[in-house]
Structure 1
Amino acid sequence: MMQSRHSAVAPPQPGPLARVVPVMRARVPVAMQLEFPLPDSELPVVEPFVGNLLVGYAIDPPAEAAGGAGSRLLRQLATRHCAELGVAPAELRELAVANLRVLRPDVRFNWYPDVRAVSVTAGGDLEAGLILDEGFVDKLAQDVEGDLVVALPARDVFVATGTGHVDGIDKLRWVVDQIWTDERHLTPQEAAGAPPRGLAAPQRPHLLLTRDLLVRRGGSWQILA
């Protein structure tokens, strides 16, 4: 089932601000961090989310400007870019989520036939960022029993169920295992060696995020024990 989110979009922002999107990231272990740290102005803008997950931001170039969707690389947003764009880092999340609704408006819900669990797709590259859209997760929570549970094993994967569906939670863990053994995805350690202006190597375009399942309780996300 496909659902458009056009009705929920905010007024478009001008220029590059309209292309800023949220990109979920995994915290890179200290041992894998750069030996020579970047200057402060080049540090990526990131915020802690939950567990080992971070919220980062990038400029999503139009497909035609990037030579086609297959070769598109997101341009990581650094501190200096905020100054150049005239936007405060604290304003990025609201802006980026609104942009994601505009740039990835058509969301598909693929419910598993054997369990109450759903795989959500929205363009095939930034699905994990949907977890930041409060309106979206509120609506999704109405379709499951108990608290909403989400798996974000990779940047392009969003699978959900509810705490009231034990078999659904088992399905999410199965999906996580499948994704983490798929050679097309980069581990967070491998991602540390990705091209500096892109978030992934073109031949392996999707980053692994976390094996943890996340549960939304009282309006906040936690690691599901």
Structure 2
Amino acid sequence: MIDSLPFRRVGEPTRGGIVCVVDHASNRVPADIELGIAPELLDKHIAVDIGVEGVAERMARRHAIPAHLACVSRLVCDLHREEESPAVVPETSDGHLIPGNIGADIERRLALFHRPYHAALAEWLDAAQPELVIALHSFTPALESGGEERPWEVALLYNRDDRAARHAIRLFAEEGLTVGDNQPYSGKQLNATMDRHAEAHGRPYLTIEIRQDMIEREADQARWAALVADVAGRTAHALKDA
């Protein structure tokens, strides 16, 4: 028996305001699902976007940007993938085998987690009619399986619609940050939730990736919550003036 919904909310949207979506906020694994991995792996980036839950909660409670947050680990069901993607129930992640996902009942995972999460998100956004959607993620300074150090402190990802991202890239750079433009990976390949809930509806959005070592501590999460809220607010005003 699955023990809770795959999402939760913090704060109430103001119609026409700014909202935040966090697909990888949680490392929770329901009691009736066995992934077959060492428990310490649930605290790593393969299971959760480190730091983003704290940033999003502070944005909601202190800066009036309500959040729709996942309540299940991406290793159980990756809510930021299309249903047909092989990675929606990953068998490996950054060099780690996920034995419990080999031969898993993917349809059951989709029915329990993916579909209710996205159905609820669609309803929430339709009611809020936001002027801007923030999709909040974090990325590792480097992959465990190899690759170069990632110099970006924050990054903006986008697919076809870059109108909000262009403003945010400039605004973060003006704060003295090293800003990735569709780095360390491209929103043209990894933008599933915003493709579905923002681009498909013509909604401006910011897919923001923060490097995980920047937001591991609570004090840093508070600082970044204020910064993201400020950049998002200024981006929304710039879009209105365009």
Given the two structures, how large is their TM-score scaled by the length of structure 2?
A: 0.28
Larger strand percent: 1
Structure with greater contact order relative to length (CA < 8 Å, sep ≥ 6): 2
Given the two structures, how large is their TM-score scaled by the length of structure 1?
A: 0.30
Larger helix percent: 2
